[in-house]
Amino acid sequence: MARKMTRCLLLALALCLAGTLAFAAPAQAPQVPVKGVVTMLDLGAKSCIPCKMMAPILVELEKDYRGKAAVVFIDVREDNDAARKFGIRAIPTQIFFNRAGQEVSRHEGFMDKKTASDTLNKLLAK
């Protein structure tokens, strides 16, 4: 089990380094929410255990929703301004924005892929 989790984390890291997912560093932080697009923002830290568990899910979501919705990760330990801007109290925190850029949903803690997909699908259907 631990070996499988390690493989998943290494795969997620490799995909992130390859630029598959918008893992934002402070110097290149994207404009969030992404203008005109349904956006899922995950605020966490690369060193946080639940955040590490979310990494492969975020990679899958980015792939599944490419061209339909933006999936963005910001490490709040590297970008303290993002934590203040979005009023983060715990990590990971997922914030969902509609196409108009309005926050419509917020969740603190680990979020499984089905819950995230269901939320994105509801926003895309509107």
For the stretch 8-19, pLDDT in tens is 443 444 334 333
CB neighbours of 37 closer than 8 A, spacing ≥ 6?
69, 70, 99
51 belongs to the catalytic site: yes
Lowest average pLDDT, out of 13-22, 27-36, 84-93, goes to: 13-22
First to last CA, the chain: 39
Rounded CA separation 25/73 (Å): 9
Helix (H, G, I), strand (E, B) or coil at 104: strand
Lowest model confidence (mean pLDDT) among 13-27, 38-52, 89-103: 13-27
Q: Looking at per-residue confidence, does 63 or 23 come out higher?
A: 63
Position 11 scores a pLDDT of: 41
The residue extents of the domains of the chain are: 2-125
**Residue tagged active-site, from 8, 29, 37, 48:** 48
Q: What is the pLDDT of residues 79-89, one digit of tens each?
A: 999 999 999 99
The pLDDT score that the predictor gives to residue 5 is 44
Q: What is the pLDDT of residue 126?
A: 87
16 is catalytic: no
Name which CATH class applies to 2-125: alpha beta
Mean pLDDT over each residue of the chain, to the nearest integer: 84
Q: Which pLDDT value is given to residue 7?
A: 46
Catalytic residue among 12, 32, 51, 82: 51
| Both tokens assigned to 121 | 């699908």
